Structure 1
Amino acid sequence: MEEKLKTLEVLASDVTGYLEKLSYSESRISQYRSAWQRVAKFMKENELLSYSAAVGEAFIYHLIGDRKFDNLDRWEKDIIQCANVLTEFLETGAVKFRRCQKFRDLKGAVGHTMQEYIAYKKSYGISRVTIEGYKHCFQHFLCYLDDNGINDVSPINQQLLINYGNQLGFCTPDFRHRSLSVIKGFLRYLYDRGITDRDYSRTVPKDKYTRQPKIPSTYTGEEVEALIASIERSSPKGKRDYAMVLITARLGLRATDVCCLTFGNIHWEESKIVLNQQKTGERIELPLLSEIGEAIIDYLKYGRPESALPYIFLHVNHPYDRLNRSTLHSIICLYLRRAGIHYEKERRHGPHALRHSLAGVLLAKKTPIPVISEVLGHQSTESTRYYLRIDLNSLRQCALEVPLVSSTFYEGRVTR
């Protein structure tokens, strides 16, 4: 694909006009301009006439240097975000970037080999999130190798790997498990490619980590109703939020599926919502409850901006693109606070918590597991059994009585 190029002056002017249309404040736009001046200085020093995605990436690496991203100052991370906005607009013609991407540079001969391994894994279609996880683990391992004066893969041996495994004992069990797994695959790759003459993947320390699934976070029926009642529906945003929260709470749809709902998914004549789930690809049919249908109609008639997009729920402000799941998460958090519902750190507070809560309500009504599985769109009832742990009334029926201890049990025992 041909790389997109544009002079920085023209690109900055286009982005500024775009941000002004989005009602960005003058102070925020001024911060962008200040950061772009640093980009302009970098381009001048390197005799670069046009801006491209590669130029933006080179500037970011120049700014970071040999430091870790997490050690950067807040203002430096903000400059990186401003540079990313230039690239985002150049590539897509829009600005949807909201978070500062973490650049994990794998340097040196070992780092280059790690990058080749990531490219090899990428050819098998692993996701961007998985790739970032690989980079995170490799960066940690690379720092360990640097601290021990190792700048090539050939000196890696069993003792070094054992020592590294011991050092990982200070990390979380999840990160330790993932790191050892990634490094094991990397070492096997080195041996298969003939880069090393011994398969050191067999010497990577084993851990007994077993990921324990967390108990699903749920809210009571009263809390869910208070959440829904807290949504003020006189504005376009309120009408949209009410319909989305109602679909999530009453039907248990995943956040991505709610955000991706199209007009074709609503079968008005049959009073059904029919879609292929984003996560599983499985088709699911759910009843179009009257209150949900009325909420959608209210939004379409009096709240939805004019747009040719097929998606039902759109942003309130220009550009009127569809929402993503993180936006729905923020929406639900907002109304939880407005409803005065307090949630602890252990209790999740996003769309998935409403999905869990629906499962809890169905279990309390003695709904059979296969029916709950169909409602939630699970491929297997085994996934639905995950929710059995929140059915406290049924769990109490499984409890065994503890027999009383005879008084003679303590006779002859010495109290220390």
Structure 2
Amino acid sequence: MKEKIKFEVLTSDVTNYLQKLSYSHSRISQYHSAWQRVANFMKTNELQYFTATVGENFIYYLIGDRKYDDIDRWEKDIIQCTNVLSEFIETGAVKDKRHHKFRDLKGNVGKTMQDYINYKRSYRISSLTIEEYKLRFQHFLDFLENNDIDDLKLINQQVLINYSNQLIFCTPYVRHRTLSIIKGYLRFLYDQKLTEKDYSRKVPKDKYIKQPKLPSIYTKEEVNALINSIDRSSPKGKRDYAMILLTARLGLRATDVCCFTFENLKWEKSLIVLNQNKTGNRVELPLISEIGDAIIDYLKYGRPESELPYLFLKVTSPYDRLNSSTLHSIITFYLNRAGIQYKNERKHGPHALRHSLAGVLLQKKIPVPVISEVLGHKNTESTRYYLRIDLNSLRQCALEVPTIPPTFYEGGNINE
């Protein structure tokens, strides 16, 4: 690749490359949206050619004086999209980072990773955990390949330190999980006598401490303000209104809302019936009139013509279904429009509305098993996570502090 290339030519080449990798129209549109910010930055600074240095300067401009962990998720996505341009400039290719590519762990080292996954599968770990293992291993395997390490005998302490240093831009949790999985894998290699030394002991410690966080919640008044801020005169507003109601009133997860189909609507029984994407559990929820009316309004006056089974579609062609990150952006937009503060205090996506519904049900003294059914939890233990936000009930559990006799401060006997 040339070191300098006009921005519009570069983005066109990268778009063609992503299309060859079968990236969806919606994902490519997200790339274009991020690249437009880069284009605006270059125009402001009178830059005609994009280079890796230009990309780096744009990222510094975007982050400002904040830490990477403190920026929003949409900003991290912009950084990732910018790095794709730099990667294409440097290598003439883009590594496909989508999840379906993580299923194939190639080579001799990859085979031992797959053997470890099969070993863990015997302990009945969930399919989601298995996919996470594949994801972490593919990242580690890419690092090894980039450093010409294709034999287990070449893995040593320095290699592990170098890999750990590459995880500096990951969130503390992702870094912790990655190192934990690699550590278990290395222990497996030693137990199977595939390595002479137990390098699991050489994996750098990350000092990660999981801090229990209170669920992010919004008051009933704030949720209503959010809903009322939606302009329902446009097709987009009608769609957003119905989607947010499903999240705020019924507590559906973002993936379930985005994958919502016509078959999930049981009009004759006034029910919504679906199998949750996360748990696979079947849930039946009431099709309340507020939601039913919103869906009808969207179907009659907002939804584009399409043979897709999904209820909620993009408002512009191609009319693909939405993804969960889009719903997150939609809710963030209306929170800002409603003037609801959330930065550095509360999360601001679909799950926060789900938490808020749990809070409202707790305030109404709804039993935990019933809340568990509404939220579609596998068991009530997951629902007990929300008990910490029921402050009124917690106050009733508080014990009175006994009065301390004055003699205590005088050094006397407290029993006198």
Aligned partner of residue 286 in structure 1, secondary structure: strand
Specify the code of the residue in structure 2 equivalent to 1:340. G
Tell me which residue corresponds to 1:77.
84
Q: Kindly tell me: are residues 33 and 374 of structure 1, through their superposed partners in 2, closer, same or farther at Cα, counting changes over 3 Å? A: closer
Q: CA deviation at 1:304?
A: 0.3
Q: CA deviation at 1:189?
A: 3.6
| Percent identity for Structure 1 against Structure 2 | 58
- Whether 1:239 and 2:241 are equivalent positions in the alignment is no
CA distance in 2, matches of 1:284, 1:399: 36
- Whether 1:33 and 2:8 are equivalent positions in the alignment is no
Q: Kindly tell me: are residues 367 and 330 of structure 1, through their superposed partners in 2, closer, same or farther at Cα, counting changes over 3 Å? A: same
CA distance in 1, matches of 2:161, 2:236: 55
CA distance in 1, matches of 2:202, 2:7: 53
Specify the code of the residue in structure 1 equivalent to 2:279. T
CA distance in 1, matches of 2:263, 2:11: 40
Superposition pairs of residues 122-271 of structure 1, within 5 angstroms: 129-134=132-137, 154=153, 174=173, 177-192=176-191, 194-201=193-200, 211-271=210-270
Q: Kindly tell me: are residues 178 and 393 of structure 1, through their superposed partners in 2, closer, same or farther at Cα, counting changes over 3 Å? A: same
Specify the code of the residue in structure 2 equivalent to 1:253. L
Aligned partner of residue 281 in structure 1, secondary structure: coil
Aligned partner of residue 85 in structure 2, secondary structure: helix
What are the superposed Cα offsets for residues 146-198 of structure 1, whole Å, 9 maximum, x if unpaired?
A: 9xxx99755878x989999x999x99864664354223223234335543234
What are the superposed Cα offsets for residues 99-125 of structure 1, whole Å, 9 maximum, x if unpaired?
A: x9499xxxxxxx976544444456666
Checking the alignment, whether the CA contact within 8 Å between 1:81 and 1:101 is kept in structure 2 is no
Q: Kindly tell me: are residues 30 and 310 of structure 1, through their superposed partners in 2, closer, same or farther at Cα, counting changes over 3 Å? A: same
Q: Kindly tell me: are residues 319 and 74 of structure 1, through their superposed partners in 2, closer, same or farther at Cα, counting changes over 3 Å? A: closer
Please give the TM-score of this superposition, normalised by the length of structure 1: 0.67
Checking the alignment, whether the CA contact within 8 Å between 2:217 and 2:359 is kept in structure 1 is yes
Structure 1 stretches lacking a partner, 5+ long = 1-26, 40-50, 55-62, 65-69, 89-99, 104-110
Checking the alignment, whether the CA contact within 8 Å between 1:248 and 1:255 is kept in structure 2 is yes
CA distance in 2, matches of 1:33, 1:176: 34
Checking the alignment, whether the CA contact within 8 Å between 1:32 and 1:82 is kept in structure 2 is no
Checking the alignment, whether the CA contact within 8 Å between 2:161 and 2:204 is kept in structure 1 is no
Specify the code of the residue in structure 1 equivalent to 2:372. S
Q: CA deviation at 1:406?
A: 2.1
Tell me which residue corresponds to 2:325.
326
Checking the alignment, whether the CA contact within 8 Å between 1:240 and 1:313 is kept in structure 2 is yes
CA distance in 1, matches of 2:88, 2:301: 36
Superposition pairs of residues 92-103 of structure 1, within 5 angstroms: 101=97
CA distance in 2, matches of 1:341, 1:231: 14
CA distance in 2, matches of 1:162, 1:87: 25
Tell me which residue corresponds to 2:344.
345
Checking the alignment, whether the CA contact within 8 Å between 2:230 and 2:237 is kept in structure 1 is yes
Q: CA deviation at 1:78?
A: 2.1
CA distance in 1, matches of 2:252, 2:13: 43
Q: What do you get for the CA RMSD once the two structures are aligned?
A: 4.6
CA distance in 1, matches of 2:259, 2:175: 36
What are the superposed Cα offsets for residues 45-79 of structure 1, whole Å, 9 maximum, x if unpaired?
A: xxxxxx9659xxxxxxxx99xxxxx9999865325
Q: Kindly tell me: are residues 29 and 213 of structure 1, through their superposed partners in 2, closer, same or farther at Cα, counting changes over 3 Å? A: same
Q: CA deviation at 1:215?
A: 1.0
Checking the alignment, whether the CA contact within 8 Å between 2:84 and 2:94 is kept in structure 1 is no
Tell me which residue corresponds to 1:17.
none
- Higher radius of gyration, 1 or 2: 1
Specify the code of the residue in structure 2 equivalent to 1:32. T
Specify the code of the residue in structure 1 equivalent to 2:296. I
Q: CA deviation at 1:233?
A: 0.5
CA distance in 1, matches of 2:389, 2:303: 38
Checking the alignment, whether the CA contact within 8 Å between 1:266 and 1:272 is kept in structure 2 is yes
Q: CA deviation at 1:322?
A: 0.8
Tell me which residue corresponds to 1:286.
285
Q: Kindly tell me: are residues 172 and 252 of structure 1, through their superposed partners in 2, closer, same or farther at Cα, counting changes over 3 Å? A: closer
Q: Kindly tell me: are residues 116 and 266 of structure 1, through their superposed partners in 2, closer, same or farther at Cα, counting changes over 3 Å? A: same
CA distance in 2, matches of 1:388, 1:221: 17
Give the total of aligned pairs: 337
Tell me which residue corresponds to 1:317.
316
CA distance in 2, matches of 1:102, 1:261: 23
Q: CA deviation at 1:32?
A: 2.0
Checking the alignment, whether the CA contact within 8 Å between 1:161 and 1:203 is kept in structure 2 is no
Q: CA deviation at 1:36?
A: 7.8
Aligned partner of residue 331 in structure 2, secondary structure: helix
Q: Kindly tell me: are residues 298 and 175 of structure 1, through their superposed partners in 2, closer, same or farther at Cα, counting changes over 3 Å? A: closer
Checking the alignment, whether the CA contact within 8 Å between 1:251 and 1:286 is kept in structure 2 is yes
Tell me which residue corresponds to 1:106.
none
Superposition pairs of residues 52-67 of structure 1, within 5 angstroms: none
Q: CA deviation at 1:33?
A: 3.3
CA distance in 2, matches of 1:82, 1:303: 41
Tell me which residue corresponds to 2:361.
362
**Larger deviation, residues 187-196 vs 331-340:** 187-196
Q: CA deviation at 1:408?
A: 1.6
Checking the alignment, whether the CA contact within 8 Å between 2:247 and 2:253 is kept in structure 1 is yes
CA distance in 2, matches of 1:322, 1:52: 21
Q: Kindly tell me: are residues 141 and 208 of structure 1, through their superposed partners in 2, closer, same or farther at Cα, counting changes over 3 Å? A: farther
Q: Kindly tell me: are residues 391 and 239 of structure 1, through their superposed partners in 2, closer, same or farther at Cα, counting changes over 3 Å? A: same
